[in-house]
Structure 1
Amino acid sequence: MIKPFYLFLIIYSLLSAKIYCQNFHLKVYGNSEYETQTIDSLNYLKTHFDFNSIKLEVDSIQKALYRIGYIEHKLTPIKKENDSTFIAHFHLKKKFNTIYIYYAKNSISTEILNLISKDVFEDYFIIKFSETESVLNFINSKISNQGLPFSKLRLSNIKALKNQTLTAELIIESNTRKRNISNIIIKGYEKFPRSYLKNYLNIKPNQSFNLSLIKKKTEQLNDLKFANQIKAPEVLFSKDSTSLYLYLEKAKSNSFDGFLGFGTNEETNNLELDGYLNLNLTNNLNFGETFRLLYKSDENDQKTFDTNLTLPYIFKSPIGVDLQLRIFKRDSSFTTINQSAKLHYQINSKHKIYAGLLNLESNNLLTENTTTNNIADYKTSYYSFAYEFIKQQSYNFLFPVNSKFYFEANFGKRKRKRIDESQKQSQFTIDAFKTFNLNLKNSIYIRVNSSTLISNTYLENELFRIGGINSIRGFEENSLLASSFGIINSEYRLQLTNSIYINSITDVAYFENKILNTREKLFGYGFGFGILTKAGLLKFNYANGKLENQKFKLSNFKIHISITTDF
């Protein structure tokens, strides 16, 4: 049997909980059924925990009515219908749909007004009344971006006209002295190359202060391999100066991948280096420079040594220098040395143009008895012009570049060394790719790579060499010779996580060899995957290549494994 004292506690607790959890209800009516429907369309909150919440909700209803044009509405005091219900009564009166805003001619440019209204006249413009708040905020932001960050706007002398129309005067309060960037202070990565501020971001002292534009520009820092933006830029205003603070950090921008093998040549007993080495060094001198070293020795006794040095923004100008040395040796047939020197101009963070000189020199290593007309000593000089477009997607660690387009045109002459022969030649190259992001996990990658050599006569040691992981997959490296070719690489990519993906491989190629007078179509199929580990990005590709009229053979499958380490 429950004692009376405990029974009293239970009843008291239940009643207290009921009182504590009691809800209050708000009902809002208009002066007519139409006005009530208009108020209901505001989707106001009808259930509340206390009376203060009800008063705040009625205030928000009033503000919403002002915004949509009922500026003359009236509210009767809130009445209590019963213990849990309160009633608010509005009389909306007339709704104003249009407002004529008059302005001083020198206070605001008509270019800004044309962005917000189709009806702009010499001293006034017309907008919908419901857009008044957003229009004033837009105008204020534009004026602030012109170097007047402390400007204020208000409407004065508001009058009601017939036909649901208002008139008002636009008053702009701002300092007459515009703000310019006095100095730029970098925190975190103090040795960040200043030339990138001026030429890459186009931010420099004495520039008109525009914080929204500055934030948009500094987002491009994440597209750089060697620097990241830690947080949004900040500004310190003083009486006579405007200091811009950028918060940056130096990122790992060097990479290495490849494998090396050592062996002794059975014929010469000399030590030979086989394998693959790809080293990229970026911004180690805090200049933004890039150095690339590539060494490749494959199963066809072909050796490639390639170095490339890029020096951006020489003397803090938008002009940079690109230097390249490439040496290719094919068994005991010939060697080719490619030297180029180009100047590039960085138009902005995505676009770049090039102009320079390209020299090719090839030597026939065959004996006189086996020398043919297809391999010969020659020297070619070109004038080179190029354009490059790169769009990053730095948020994706597996595929940081979304799209790229590179076009190069070379015009020059080839001279045979041992005979008096000069031949005009031209070369054209296109290398472009695009990643189509279907959603966060699925994407399609398409690359187009094409080159052509235009000449009256051709030599074997000047033809393009294709085949391998960077051209048509499923074929041996540099095993195909072409005077012109076109390759389409495509992949369907599925990102299982932020660090793992799998992909299909579908490659199609067409090439011509005018020395042999042959034309072929090539196909490559396979699959691959990539894993982002602590050591770097591990890639695996398994592809089979075949000619157009050739059957698939499992023995033709090629496997390529690589790991790229950032440091």
Structure 2
Amino acid sequence: MPTFFPQMYVRLFFLSLLAWWLGGGMPVAWAQITAPGASPSPSQVTTSGMPAPTPVARDTTRRIVRKPVHPKVVRLQTEAADRPVLRHYRYRTTLPDSVSALHEVRDLLLAMQADAYLTASADTMHWRRDTLVVQVYVGEKFRWARLRNGNLGDGLLTRAGYREKFFRNQPFLPAEWARLQERIVDEAENQGHPFATVRLDSVQLRGADIDARVVLDRGPVILFDSIQIVGNSKTKKRFLTKYLQIFPNQPYNQQRVNAAAQLLRQLPYVQVKGNPEVRFSRGRARVYLLIDDRNANQFDAIIGVVPNSTTSVGQSKLQLTGDVTINLRNLRGGGKQIGLQWRKVDVATQSLDAHYLHPNFFGTPLELGASFNLYKQANAFLTVRPRLQVTYPTAQAGRIAFFTERRGSRLLDPALKERTSLPDTIDSQYNSYGVSYEWNRLDDLYFPRQGLLVYLQGAVGTKNISKNPELNDTLYRRIALHSNQITLSGRLEQYVRVGRSGVFLARVRGESLLNQRLFLNDMFRIGGLATLRGFSENFFYTNSYAVGTAEFRQFTGTDAYVFVFLDQGYLRRDLANDKFWDAPTGLGAGLSFRTGAGVFQFVYSMGQAKGQRLAPNASKIHFGITSRF
């Protein structure tokens, strides 16, 4: 039989113990607070107030569940004045065994203490056959009379979320006080005090009212020493110092240390082996980065020769096609990137893309990027699109970029003089300014298993239509030569693990072009392996589209997998003489694995759209090798 205490002594014992806790008489308990997925923080928080309940270890092994033969019943007894309070809490009255019954009573008391009934207790407990009779004492609801600022600066306390009205004549909630402690310690960690502790001082207990001062013991001032690379990465420490904003002789900042791993994972040429480690010595903090180099440079070249079906006098009967891609990343270990891609998928069209990225522009964390795109449709139009962009990469808020872009298009049709109506293409120039935002939480840039990717972009500008001297001037009377144009685009990807080696990908992406008069050379071009599988490259011309993808990947190795997919799209084309919409569907399967020459990918797909049935004779086969060095 358990030992029982008189109710009066139990209550006096709990009140004395509470005053002892709040008065700082309890020995200092060190509890490390670390952001998820980040390196451990040396800062500690003293657990003033009610301590957190000790978690109960549960057996996670599989057991055969049997219906209890003799269930136990819990019956709670309390004073009449406390019964309304007890009715607010839900608890089970029938339990499978006696241990579960005792745990149910304990969980109820902890819930009441978390709601400011700090002296709630079970005064007596005894068994009557299969019934556990518990005499519950609820007690008074403790309140903050006032929580005053001790030695904290007003700025620090405000940034930690302290407001006097939250701690004046309000219930004393241990969880709320613990959150305030954590926020104060976080602020101290980011100001060079990683060993700071928080406690209550000058505690006065008047009945159920608590009056106290919050005091911060800052500990020694710690400065950053340097960063060290642990691994085979040739990336320069000078670049990483600026990229991570961890400068020598600057006050220690735990937030930057926590953000380092996520920022490093955004670099395509770095393989993160673990979270950064910090070592403290003589007032200095040295940060160790566990990184290796990964093959990120790319060179691919596929050249083909096809017959020219539209030969004329002086033209060759054969045409050159191909796809050449060059991407060089982390040049000389400084993070610079340069790339070039030339594509000619058929006789009529070809494209050229080039880009350059310069990180740490003028010693700042800003990235300066420039890109150039050229697209030529034979005997139709030529479009060039240069772009200049400034990006600010952060771990907490994602990547924010501001850009300006100029898009110029001119006609190449040699028979313009013979036209009596305005063609579907036009000479135009579109100058725009915009902003883009990227939130990347993928665990790997090339072969993600889990995580979320969000990309949003918007631009607005002025579209100017130029009169072509080959066309009759009267054809331009019914169109606005100057108009505002808006471009929107977005992408959302979610990777979810399925079992040990399975991954489910859900993705939605789309673009939209808004203008009162659109032409064919203004349109987006989708179709093919990169956008909508089951169709030829650039098969659809559209001014608004959205493509949803559901794909399952079964990994057979670190960078090898087989997959099945379904692409469902919706698109529309709003031309003056051609209103069109469609909901194309693409489905198929494929595989990807590494070879000595690079990553080989094979995709078999079929597509269904207006004018194209879902049939094997209209299927597409895409395959290629991406070599990285």
- Give me the TM-score of the superposition, normalised by structure 1: 0.69
* Partner Cα distance (1:318, 1:144) in 2: 22
The yes-or-no answer on 1:192 pairing with 2:257 is no
The answer for the alignment partner of 1:424 in structure 2 is 482
Q: Give the corresponding residue for 1:505.
A: 566
Alpha-carbon distance in structure 2 between the residues aligned to 1:43 and 1:133: 17
2:580 corresponds to: 519
Alignment partner of 1:310 is 2:357:
yes
Change over 3 Å in CA distance of 1:553–1:112 after alignment to 2: closer
1:323 aligns with: 370
> Tell me, which stretches of 5 or more residues in structure 2 are unaligned?
15-52, 58-109, 120-136
1:283 is displaced (CA, Å) by 1.9
Match of 1:120 in 2: 167
* Distance change in 2, residues 1:112/1:416 (3 Å): closer
- In structure 1, distance between residues paired with 2:373 and 2:260: 36
Q: Does 2:295 match 1:232? A: no
1:513-566 Cα deviation digits (max 9, x unpaired): 52533323141231223424243262414021321x765444322222234333
Q: Report the alpha carbon displacement of residue 413 of structure 1 after superposing the two structures with TM.
A: 1.2
CA contact (8 A) 2:524 2:541 kept: yes
Query: How much does 1:270 deviate?
Result: 7.0
Single out whichever of 473-482 and 165-174 deviates more from structure 2: 165-174
Secondary structure in structure 2 of the residue aligned to 1:219 = helix
CA offset digits 1:364-408 (Å, max 9, x no partner)? 153578778666996533322232222324424534763322333
Q: CA deviation at 1:133?
A: 7.9
The 5 A counterparts of 1:556-567 are 556-567=618-629
| Shift in alpha-carbon separation, 1:207–1:438, aligned structure 2, 3 A | same
Say which one has the larger Rg.
1
Aligned to 1:487: 546
Q: Deviations over 1:463-494 (max 9, x none)?
A: 44443333443333224444x23232322424
**Whole-angstrom distance in 1 between the partners of 2:239 and 2:300:** 30
Deviation for aligned residue 1:358: 1.1
2:425 is aligned with 1:366: no
Seq. identity, %: 15
- Residue 461 of structure 1 deviates from its aligned partner by 4.6
1:111 counterpart SS class: helix
Q: Please say which of residues 260-269 and 355-364 is displaced more in the overlay.
A: 260-269
Whether 1:283 aligns to 2:307 is no
Once the 2 structures are TM-superposed, how far is the Cα of residue 146 of structure 1 from its aligned partner? Answer: 3.0
Q: Are the aligned partners of 1:475 and 1:544 in contact in 2 as well (CA < 8 Å)?
A: yes
Q: Distance in 2 between matches of 1:553 and 1:370?
A: 41
What's the CA shift for 1:135?
Answer: 7.0
Matches within 5 A, 1:395-406: 395-396=443-444, 397-399=446-448, 402-406=453-457
2:626 maps to a residue whose letter is: T
Structure 1 residue aligned with 2:104: none
- The structure richer in strand per residue is 1
Alignment map for 1:98-497 (pairs within 5 Å): 105-107=150-152, 109=154, 110-111=157-158, 114=161, 119-120=166-167, 127=172, 139-140=184-185, 142-152=187-197, 162=207, 172-175=216-219, 178-181=221-224, 183-186=226-229, 188=231, 189=233, 191-192=235-236, 194=238, 197-198=241-242, 201-205=244-248, 207-230=250-273, 231-239=275-283, 242-256=285-299, 259-262=302-305, 267=311, 268-269=315-316, 272-299=319-346, 301-331=348-378, 333-346=379-392, 348=394, 350-366=398-414, 379-396=427-444, 397-399=446-448, 402-418=453-469, 423-437=481-495, 439-440=497-498, 441-452=502-513, 454=515, 456=517, 458=519, 460-482=520-542, 484-497=543-556
Mapped to 2, the partners of 1:475 and 1:311 lie a distance apart of: 36
In the alignment, the residues of structure 2 paired with residue 133 and residue 550 of structure 1 have an alpha-carbon distance, to the nearest angstrom, of 63
- Distance change >3 Å, CA 160–CA 471, structure 1 → 2: closer
The SS at the match of 1:273 is strand
8 Å contact kept, 2:147–2:164: no
How far, CA to CA, are the matches of 1:385 and 1:451 in structure 2?
16
What is the letter of the counterpart of residue 516 of structure 1?
A: N
Deviates more, 1:367-376 or 1:534-543: 367-376
Residue type matched to 1:415 in 2?
S
Aligned partner of residue 387 in structure 1, secondary structure = strand
TM-score (norm 2): 0.63
Q: What is the CA-CA distance between 1:338 and the residue it aligns to?
A: 0.4
Whether the aligned pair in 2 keeps the contact of 1:119 and 1:126 (CA below 8 Å) is no
Using the alignment, how far apart are the partners of 1:107 and 1:485 within structure 2?
55
Displacement of 1:244 in angstroms is 4.1
Q: Which runs of 5+ in 1 are unaligned?
A: 1-26, 46-64, 71-92
Partner letter of residue 467 of structure 2? Answer: R
Q: Residue 412 of structure 2 aligns to which amino acid in structure 1?
A: N
C-alpha distance in 2 between matches for 1:181 and 1:233:
13
In structure 2, distance between residues paired with 1:118 and 1:95: 25
In the TM superposition, what whole-angstrom CA distance separates every residue of 1:234-268 from its partner, at most 9, and x where no partner exists?
Answer: 244425x5544444433322235563324575854
Opposite residue 273 of structure 1, the aligned amino acid is L
